[in-house]
Amino acid sequence: MFHDKAGYFFELFIGGLTKGSIYALIALGYTMVYGIIELINFAHGEIYMIGAFTALITAAALTAFGVTHPLVLVSVSGITAVVYASAYGYTLEKVAYKPLRNAPRLSPLISAIGMSIFLQNFVLLAQTSNYIPFPNLIPPLPFLEPVSHIMGTVDFIILCTTAVIMILLTFLIRKTRIGTAMRATAQDKTMARLLGIDVDRIISFTFITGSALAAVGGVMVGSKMGQINFYIGFIAGIKAFTAAVLGGIGSIPGAVLGGLILGWTESFGTGYLTSDYEDVFAFSLLVLILIFKPSGLLGRNTTPKV
Amino acid sequence: MNPILNVRQLTMDFGGIRALARLDLTVNHGEIAALIGPNGAGKTTFFNCVTGLYVPTSGDVFIHATPEKSVRINGMKPHRVTRAGLSRTFQNIRLFKEMTALENVMIGRHCRTHAGIFGAFFRNRATRDEEQRIIHDSYRLLEIVGLEDQVNFRALNLPYGDQRKLEIARALAAEPRLLLLDEPAAGMNSQETRDLTSLILKIRDEFNIAILLIEHDMKLVMTLSERIFVMDYGRKIAEGTPEDIRTNPDVIRAYLGEDSHA
Amino acid sequence: MIDTLLKSLRTALWFMFLTFPILAVRIDSLKNAVTVRWPAVIILGAVIFLISVLWHTAGLVKRSWFFRFDGFKQFIQRLPDQDALSPFMIRTTLGAAAVFMISLPFFASSYQTNVMINALLYVMLGLGLNIVVGLAGLLDLGYVAFYAVGAYLYALLNLHLGIGFWIALPMGAALAAFFGILLGIPVLRLKGDYLAIVTLGFGEIIRLILENWDRVFKGPSGISHISRPSLFGIGIMESSVHHAIIYMYYIVVVLVLSTFFFVSRLKHSRIGRALLALKEDEIACQAMGIDKMKTKLTAFALGATWAGMAGVIFAAKTTFINPASFTFMESAIILSIVVIGGMGSIPGVVLGAFFLVLLPEYFRELGDYRMLVFGGAMILVMVFKPRGLLENTKPTVTYVSQQTGPDTP
């Protein structure tokens, strides 16, 4: 048994870490898209919400057909969620952003807000406006029993999954051909095109990857919170975007760092101060950091080229 | 000698790279001077430091708008430098592309005019008069650079050479005592360059101001300049009349490379 | 032709696949039962197929006399060019609009009038945000915060001190402007999207404070029984809600007209030009002697001023406010008004406001589908008219040669 005070601290620490990991997963989608086409993909939160819904629906359908093995349930519904979220991300880009590649800067942003409203209402109409209970897909792991008051099974799974995904993503971007092409495109689209990189394909790929990560986040949030509705994407999206900016938008380690800092701020803020102002802590932190470090924690500080 | 710009020991570091090293430079009233040197020598950095876009690491920059008055401008915000009597053009033209030629020049008048929010909303007599004067003065400047027929054209629709001239007109609108031109002849053909040469002379004579220009076109530099400064690797390596510069061995070495024994 | 059909079939199948789980599968979590709604998916597939066929055969459609796609497109593209319309047409249109606006309360129901007040309120908000986004190019996603400042100022003053509408109106404007400057000083150094997210954060902070600081702001349940405006110090309108609405309507019309007047004058002034230039190139602006911070602050404070006034009006109109009226969605809608109308264009803002406020209002028959249509319409407008419905192309000044006399060619 921990000492009470220390135990509480660790509980908040792990809580913040879990929350932060999920913010980081969603923030990665924002930051990758921003890095490549300098667009705040406002509909990204909706992709995450759709990921969660798809997982829920798949799991329910499987259960109705009599599949109850937890491993099968988790993997099938998780994979379906990732596939669907990626498909939505891909289509979203083709429909709402690609035609606006050369438009004034604010136009794709408005189109993104439109898409966000559209997708929210699509889910609202097709499903329901109420919270739907999210099935408990993950059975408790016995070896976590002694520390369950600090770290539950779901927390553990979230942390492990996030860590694995981060490593895979770093590998993808640093070591693979397509990762190199992504970095090249992010730096200079015209030059990348001249070197024979299919920029449209890279952009699609970025949307697909980001959406897949968001779907993973969605499934995990569903499992942790136990319920979802059509509106969860909006709040999570804004928070994750905050995390991305906090870390320095366009920077992948920045998104992770931003997500974790945001998670801890909220967790400790609500734990030690007051729970009413959870979001105020998040946004105040953002405002403070940007005032002192205008391009985010790990963002590049560039001298204007004249 | 009556200096208008006085730069002493100007140094600029970017991270670990020294872009300007203890540069001394003086431009006199009514003089046309040129700053030359190979690419990357630090010429544009020098302009940016002097006009307040960069804050120099150390050194001093003074403007003597009148012989009695001298203003130390290093570290000053760019708009205050302009107000102190220094205005410039840019190497990669930075016009307000969506605005017309006239509007571009009118923006240049901003720092010499005063109408504020109250004037904008209530359009009192003084504001109306000032607006008319701005339009009139701006049109005059467009005439001087020869763009009076394009007065209502949007900047982005002007040919390249005209865009350069428009930038000069806009810079003149701020009533500078010293005009800094960053590669004004870049991208011009020989006829346009000849026109530009006479335009620069005309501007100096008509407005009685000093001009400091960065230029790679040696013919233009040698024809126009009374004095030339040569930079290499952030240092000033030579200074003098076009004749001195033409024969200076350091300059020849800088331009042709260390290894050549020309 | 076969090619087109195959392409369309592929598109239709793709969207059927995409929407399948969410559209077709309905879960009853209590009974643990799943129902599949095949008709919905099939109808959707058919609709997508038709649209896609039409889309791909646009070349054929274009040439048909029936559709006159080209002519329509030309018409749309000619809209922004105000020179193409004769002064007579403009005057007639404006005259008709004026007659319509003035006489509206006489033939419309209270409900209709109220809807119109709402639309006009958004015109005002749009024009205010247009100064910040359209003219100065500063992306503000927390504009609704200033709106809230105005609304709560009036509500609280009215609640505690019994201060009336006409005194609160300038106070709301001033307080919002003050907030604009207060926020502007630290954040206007940030560029582009960083500014956007910080303003968004600020907007959320304000809303959350309103929601959670119960003792002062009454929490989520808000403040009710706010007085409607009085006429010459007499609260005669208290007796009849219908009359109060009509009175409110005329107040809003007058305020919107004066907003028009001020904003269009601002646009064609020295300050307005500096704002427009700032949007295009900050570095060139500074080199031309424009004080970047001061100019940006001016824009921010002016934008906030109008939001503050609109807030006071909103509180007086609804007589009840709560934090739910000041969510980020509200900021997003106001921003959409500016962008859909055409950034920087004043008639554009009016069109944008009517489009975004009246569209959902008059499509109430669509019921729950109206927000779906609304989101879709936003995407469509942007895809087909990325610079907004009424693109801002007119320069602020046109040089007329007679102006200077002799030396003009």
**Torsion (CA) B147, B152, B155, B160 in degrees, nearest 10:** -30
Q: Which secondary structure element, helix H or strand E, spans residue C213, and what is its range?
A: none
What local confidence, expressed as pLDDT, does residue C29 receive?
63
Q: Which of C299, C304, C393 is nearest to C346 (CA)?
A: C393
What local confidence, expressed as pLDDT, does residue C264 receive?
86
Taking an 8 Å cut-off on Cβ atoms, the answer to whether A113 and C25 are in contact is no
What local confidence, expressed as pLDDT, does residue C360 receive?
76
- A304 contacts on B by Cβ (under 8 Å): 53
Q: Which of B207, B199, B214, B227 is nearest to B27 (CA)?
A: B227
Q: Is A239 helix (H, G, I), strand (E, B) or coil?
A: helix
Is the CB of residue B57 less than 8 Å away from at least one CB of chain A? no
pLDDT at C402 over 70: no
Calculate mean pLDDT across residues A129-138.
80
Q: Is B35 helix (H, G, I), strand (E, B) or coil?
A: strand
pLDDT at C206 over 60: yes
State phi, psi for A229 to the nearest 5 degrees.
Answer: -145, 180
- Chain C: residue nearest A88 by CA? C18
Q: Using CB atoms, which chains have 3+ pairs under 8 A with C?
A: A, B
Please give, rounded to a whole number of angstroms, the shortest distance from the CA of B105 to a CA of chain C.
10
Q: Which residue has the higher pLDDT, C174 or C376?
A: C174
What local confidence, expressed as pLDDT, does residue A69 receive?
83
Is the CB of residue A66 less than 8 Å away from at least one CB of chain C? no
Is the CB of residue B69 less than 8 Å away from at least one CB of chain C? no
Structure letter (DSSP) for residue B8: E
- Residue A119 and residue A50 in contact, taking contact as beta carbons nearer than 8 Å: yes
- Residue B222 and residue B246 in contact, taking contact as beta carbons nearer than 8 Å: yes
What local confidence, expressed as pLDDT, does residue C372 receive?
84
Domain range summary for chain A, segments of one domain joined by +: 35-243
pLDDT at C211 over 80: yes
Question: Tell me: the pLDDT tens digits for B26-44?
Answer: 999 889 999 998 888 888 9
Buried/exposed A113-140: b ≥16 CB within 10 Å, e otherwise: bbbbbbbbbbbbbbbeeeebbbbebbee
Q: Which amino acid is it at C286?
A: Q
Taking an 8 Å cut-off on Cβ atoms, the answer to whether A238 and C204 are in contact is yes
- Chain A: residue nearest C134 by CA? A106
Please give, rounded to a whole number of angstroms, the shortest distance from the CA of B257 to a CA of chain C.
34
Q: Which of B207, B202, B154, B170 is nearest to B88 (CA)?
A: B170
What local confidence, expressed as pLDDT, does residue C216 receive?
85
Report the distance separating Cα A215 and Cα A223, nearest Å: 12
- Residue C134 and residue C392 in contact, taking contact as beta carbons nearer than 8 Å: yes
**Torsion (CA) C210, C215, C221, C224 in degrees, nearest 10:** -100
Structure-token pair, residue C331: 């900021």
Is the CB of residue C21 less than 8 Å away from at least one CB of chain A? yes
Percent of chain C surpassing pLDDT 90 = 26
Mean pLDDT, chain B, rounded, equals 88
- Enumerate the H helices of C218-327 as residue ranges: 241-267, 270-280, 282-287, 292-318
Does C174 lie in the same domain as C127? yes
Residue reference for tokens 């993104």: A112
| Domain assignment present for C408 | no
Report the distance separating Cα B86 and Cα B257, nearest Å: 34
Report the distance separating Cα A250 and Cα A300, nearest Å: 9
Question: Tell me: the pLDDT tens digits for B241-254?
Answer: 988 888 888 888 87
Mutant choice from A62, A118, A127 vs C, greatest count of C C-beta within 10 A: A118
Predicted TM-score (pTM) of this structure: 0.83
Question: Tell me: the pLDDT tens digits for B172-231?
Answer: 999 999 999 999 998 888 888 999 999 999 999 999 999 999 998 888 999 999 999 999
Is the CB of residue A301 less than 8 Å away from at least one CB of chain B? no
| Domain assignment present for C156 | yes
For B48: left if phi > 0, alpha if psi spans -120 to 50, otherwise beta; the answer is: alpha
Structure-token pair, residue B108: 């240049």
pLDDT at C82 over 50: no
Cβ-Cβ contacts under 8 Å for C127 (sequence gap 6 or more): C256, C259, C260, C263, C306, C346, C349
Among the residue ranges A112-126, B94-108, C364-378, the one predicted with the least confidence is: C364-378
What local confidence, expressed as pLDDT, does residue C218 receive?
85
Does C379 lie in the same domain as C242? yes
Does C371 lie in the same domain as C258? yes
Q: Which domain holds residue C47?
A: 2-76
For residue C222, CA distances in Å to A276, C210, C213, C258 come to 17, 9, 11, 30
Q: Which of A101, B13, B163, B198 is nearest to C284 (CA)?
A: B163
What local confidence, expressed as pLDDT, does residue C65 receive?
42
- Chain A: residue nearest C32 by CA? A64
Structure-token pair, residue A175: 């070591």
Report the distance separating Cα A89 and Cα B230, nearest Å: 56
Does C377 lie in the same domain as C265? yes
Percent of chain A surpassing pLDDT 90 = 29
Q: For the purposes of burial, counting CB atoms within 10 Å of the CB of A235, is it exposed (0-12), middle (13-18) or buried (19 or more)?
A: middle
What local confidence, expressed as pLDDT, does residue A201 receive?
92
- Residue C381 and residue B135 in contact, taking contact as beta carbons nearer than 8 Å: no
Q: Which long-range contacts (CB under 8 A, 24 or more apart) does C28-33 make?
A: C29/A60, C29/A132, C29/A133, C32/A60, C32/A63, C32/A64, C33/A64
Does C120 lie in the same domain as C38? no
Q: Which secondary structure element, helix H or strand E, spans residue A198, and what is its range?
A: none
For residue C205, CA distances in Å to A266, C140, C212 come to 14, 15, 10
What local confidence, expressed as pLDDT, does residue C259 receive?
92
Sign of CA dihedral B100, C279, B167, C291: positive
The number of domains in chain C is: 2
pLDDT at B157 over 70: yes
Is the CB of residue A103 less than 8 Å away from at least one CB of chain C? yes
Does C365 lie in the same domain as C283? yes
| Domain assignment present for C85 | no
Q: Which secondary structure element, helix H or strand E, spans residue C82, and what is its range?
A: none
Cβ-Cβ contacts under 8 Å for C108 (sequence gap 6 or more): C116
Question: Tell me: the pLDDT tens digits for C164-186?
Answer: 889 999 999 999 999 999 989 88
Does C347 lie in the same domain as C263? yes
Buried/exposed B35-61: b ≥16 CB within 10 Å, e otherwise: bbbeeebbbbbbbbbbbbbbebeebeb
Q: Which of B18, B78, B73 is nearest to B42 (CA)?
A: B18
Calculate mean pLDDT across residues C220-249.
75
Q: For the purposes of burial, counting CB atoms within 10 Å of the CB of B198, is it exposed (0-12), middle (13-18) or buried (19 or more)?
A: exposed
- B14 contacts on A by Cβ (under 8 Å): 303
What local confidence, expressed as pLDDT, does residue C67 receive?
42
The CATH number that applies at residue C281 is 1.10.3470
